[in-house]
């Protein structure tokens, strides 16, 4: 992932909210590779809204930096999932930030809904 | 409207795509005052997707600037509307940018749908 | 603060990273009212980069909602400040989200720099 | 380029201002390949602020779509450059949008500055 000009602010570094956008990109990549894309998930009648987001910033990402945003996933309960993230700059392997998000599994009416068995199986395997 | 830090980029000025966000704020304010909020519009089964957007940039807006984004509207046809915008800095009345957007009136299936008479009447009155 | 269309996502609610943008708006309003605007702060040779951000989401904010984002501040040390936020929907006083950010006080070279006494005094008074 | 969830809005499609962000990504890729990255450009004491942006929307990009955003460049004068863009969905080669931006070449003080000969040479070669 390469840092976009739009993602910087006048301090000359990436605006802090954009790390959460990158987390989401890494999260959906992970889901896609687990065989359950976010698109399918929504088609299947599931939503995974964020109930908690957290980020710790160590060094600033800058415009044009090449980054890798890694994500791992853990099943907290049949209706709750946690993703952990690390943002690494590829040029020097510096760890710029880390964080996590917690998500509820809901049906279209907004009620908790147990994740499908195949998805739970996919998510409990270390990626 | 006060310029947010998130809206700046590392050139120290507002990132150019954000003017289109402000246009949308001015546009929905204008619709709200015309008695047909965007929310009601969507509930009534209309969508007004943008088919064209244009912006000319004269001077840069900066963080914390107090701006006024004016909008006027013109009915191009029963299924097409144009909004014109001007971004003015309040401290010195400098005109920072101007632009326009053109919108199609569609039904939920994406087919052209004539705007309701009361809306057309409201939009043809100069605001 | 009124929710912008740009801030929604296809789930029909506000995209989660945007709460951090609102936090920043509330934070800079608070600083401005304390007599030390972010703009002056930068002119004085200070930066307050975020080192930690956290948000808990209870109910979703939706397009066109009228929100109040409250902020309070606490001095953690002479070089570290914490802001706490609450996002409330005005129509029914529902608390949609809460969170905090922690900031380091740095000089232009990126070294820790003690906040000015007048600022520390202003920040330790409950707002 | 894959469409991010953050880029959608509650109409279920990509929010219109984000096309300008993609234009910028395509523009900076093109500059990088011409041998003059935006980063070097800023280091060399040049800025290329946008003076005009235009976009026409034909079909909507949706979440998770794989897109190609092509850019070509034309030198309008020694101090003015125009980029043209086309957004194509890879799955069916549909042309979703096209547009252009016009940029002024400025020095750090904001005065027009002739683009370096080697850059002008690079930009007049069809990419």
- Residue C4: which of C30, C20, C22, C28 has the closest Cα? C22
Low-confidence ranges of chain C (pLDDT < 70): 125-127
Averaged over A34-58, what is the pLDDT?
89
Average pLDDT, stretch B5-16?
92
Which other chains touch chain B, taking contact as 3+ CB pairs less than 8 Å apart?
A, C, D
| pLDDT bracket for residue B39 (50, 70, 90) | confident
| Contact check, Cβ <8 Å, D64/A5 | no
Strands (DSSP E) contained in chain C are 50-57, 67-77, 80-89, 95-104
CB < 8 Å to D24, chain A: 4-6
pLDDT tens, position by position, D102-125: 999 999 888 999 988 878 887 775
Tell me which chains share at least 3 CB pairs under 8 Å with chain C: A, B, D
Residues D6, A28: C-beta atoms closer than 8 Å: no
The reported pLDDT for the residue numbered C125 is 58
Average pLDDT over chain D, rounded to an integer: 91
- Cβ neighbors of A2 (< 8 A, separation 6 or more) are A64, A65, A66, A67, D25
Q: How far apart are CA B112 and CA D49, in angstroms?
A: 37
Nearest CA-CA partner of A103 in A123, A83, A121, A124: A83
**Between D96 and B36, the higher pLDDT residue:** D96
Which chain D residues touch C5 with a CB distance below 8 Å? 9-10, 15
* Across A26-40, D7-21, D81-95, least confident range: A26-40
- For residue A125, what pLDDT band results from cuts at 50, 70 and 90? low
pLDDT tens digits, one per residue of A54-86: 999 999 999 989 999 999 998 889 999 999 999
- The pLDDT of residue D96 is 97
What mean pLDDT do residues B55-69 have? 95
Encoded tokens for A30: 């992970």
Calculate the average pLDDT of chain A: 91
pLDDT surpassing 70 at residue D44:
yes
Task: Decide if pLDDT at A122 tops 80.
Answer: no
For residue A127, pLDDT beyond 70: no
Residue in D21, D63, D64 closest to A6 by CB = D21
Q: Check residues C59 and B35 and name the one with the higher pLDDT.
A: C59
CB-CB contact of C54 with A100 (8 Å): no
pLDDT band at D38 (very low <50, low <70, confident <90, very high): confident
Return the SS3 of C5. helix
Query: Which strands make up the sheet holding A50-57, listed edge to edge?
Result: A67-77, A80-89, A95-104, A50-57, C50-57, C95-104, C80-89, C67-77
A38, D5 Cβ separation under 8 angstroms? yes
Q: Considering CB atoms only, which of B8, B10, B13 is closest to A63? A: B10
Say what the pTM is.
Answer: 0.89
From the list A59, A112, A104, the residue with the least C-alpha distance to A83 is A104
Residue A95's pLDDT is what? 97
Q: For chain B, what is the radius of gyration of the CA atoms?
A: 16
In this complex, the residue of B5, B21, B64 whose CB is nearest that of residue C4 is: B21
| Better-predicted residue by pLDDT, D75 or D51 | D51
CATH of B5-124, one of 3.40.50.300, 2.60.40.10, 3.10.129.10, 1.10.8.100: 3.10.129.10
**pLDDT confidence of D127, banded at 50, 70, 90?**
very low
User: What confidence tier does B127 reach under pLDDT thresholds 50, 70, 90?
Assistant: very low
- State the Cα–Cα distance between residues C108 and D94, nearest whole angstrom: 48
Chain D interface test: which of C11, C15, C17, C19 (most D C-beta within 10 Å)? C15
Contact residues, chain D to chain B, C-beta under 8 Å: 11, 13, 16-18, 20-21, 24, 47, 49-58, 60, 101
The contact set of B with D (CB < 8 A) is: 11, 13, 16-18, 20-21, 24, 47, 49-58, 60, 101
Q: What does pLDDT average to over chain B? A: 91
């Amino acid at each position: 992932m390469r840092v976009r000009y739009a993602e910087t602010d006048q301090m000359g570094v990436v605006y802090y909210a954009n790390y959460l956008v990158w987390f989401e990109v890494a999260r959906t990549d992970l889901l896609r590779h687990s065989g359950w894309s976010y698109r399918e998930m929504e088609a299947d009648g599931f939503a995974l809204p964020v109930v908690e987001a957290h980020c710790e910033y160590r060094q600033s990402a800058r415009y044009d930096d090449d980054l890798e945003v890694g994500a791992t996933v853990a099943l907290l309960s049949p209706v709750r999932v946690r993703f952990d993230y690390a943002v690494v700059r590829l040029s020097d392997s510096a760890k710029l930030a880390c964080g996590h998000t917690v998500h509820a599994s809901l049906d279209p009416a907004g009620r908790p809904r147990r994740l499908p068995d195949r998805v739970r199986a996919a998510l409990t395997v270390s990626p």
